[in-house]
Amino acid sequence: MRAFVFPGQGSQAVGMGAALAAASTAARAVFQEVDDALGQNLARLMAEGPADDLTLTENAQPAIMANAIAALRVLETDGGIRLVDKADFVAGHSLGEYSALCGAQAFDLATTARLLKLRGQAMQAAVPVGEGAMAALLGADYALAEAICAEAAEGEVCQAANDNGGGQVVISGHKAAVERAMALSKEKGVKRALPLPVSAPFHCALMQPAADAMAEALAKAAIRAPLVPVYANVTAAPVADPDQIRELLVMQVTGTVRWRESVEAMVAAGVTEFVEFGAKVLGPMIKRIAPDATTTSLVTMADIEAFAAGL
């Protein structure tokens, strides 16, 4: 069995998608449709930068999605390999869940782009700059990270935001609480605690205003049943019902990205091969969780052609 997976924030880079667009009309069509939906030249920003503008959450989120969907569309259009024929499940890390839903045709591309633009704006606006923080705990399992967060909170927000597996858990919350957690983690035997260069504390209760904004937007968005089940971040379980998808995407804004459990659940369901679109981020993460799994990343035309030839 095979899962198609889609990366999250942090996988953006100036130049992303440019070579693929030069090689394929299918890729160019994706970037043009996203540009038209957003009323901005996101494709040029992706290709040329500046990096600071691309890194802004409201640009990075639709850009990462567009790049991943472009790779998928090239596989489907130029390679003749359809997701519905070759993938048993899809999943995505944080914003990548929207890419997964788009790939499985639960959302159309224009809707996905507009939702992610709004999601990025709402998440950035939810917490004043400097009040929140995130940190990666390396050498900590999820239970230990939760215990550290609970002890460090002291009445503030401090939560496990991303359970990435392989002993990496990202925590999020009020800046002072996250700093307390980082100091405490050393006492608890965590190998390293690294502050992350992010603009807002994602996937914690401080994101509630963004969750409210997404609830309003998703209530108006057309969602179809996906072509294949989607493993949801907040449940680490497959979902196919449009109303449940809508509800889980709202919960995802403040909830933990249960990536380790999602990968473990897909492996338990019989998945032996994971194919990542648009980046080479999730592959190494998956190998730490499921060493026996096969991982492939499709970023370039050569990647896509080699994968299609091997099927």
Encode pLDDT of 55-86 as tens digits. Answer: 999 999 999 999 999 999 999 999 999 999 99
The pLDDT of residue 37? 98
- Which residue numbers are catalytic? 94, 203
Domains of the chain: 2-126+206-310 (3.40.366.10), 132-198 (3.30.70.250)
Query: What pTM was computed for the model?
Result: 0.96
The pLDDT of residue 311? 86
**Whether pLDDT at 129 is above 90:** no
Query: Phi, psi at residue 50, to the nearest 5°?
Result: -75, 155
- Cis, bond preceding 50 (omega within 30 deg of 0): yes
pLDDT tens for residues 155-164?
A: 999 999 999 9
pLDDT tens for residues 194-225?
A: 999 888 999 999 999 999 999 999 999 999 99
On whether the CB atoms of residues 34 and 109 are closer than 8 A, the answer is yes
Residues 231/232/235/239 CA torsion (nearest 10 deg) = -70
The pLDDT of residue 261? 98
24/20 Cα distance (integer angstroms): 6
Average pLDDT over residues 178-199: 94
**Whether pLDDT at 34 is above 90:** yes
199/175 Cα distance (integer angstroms): 12
pLDDT tens for residues 240-254?
A: 999 999 999 999 999
Give whole-number Cα distances, 132 to 151, 159, 177, 281, 307, in Å.
18, 12, 9, 25, 41
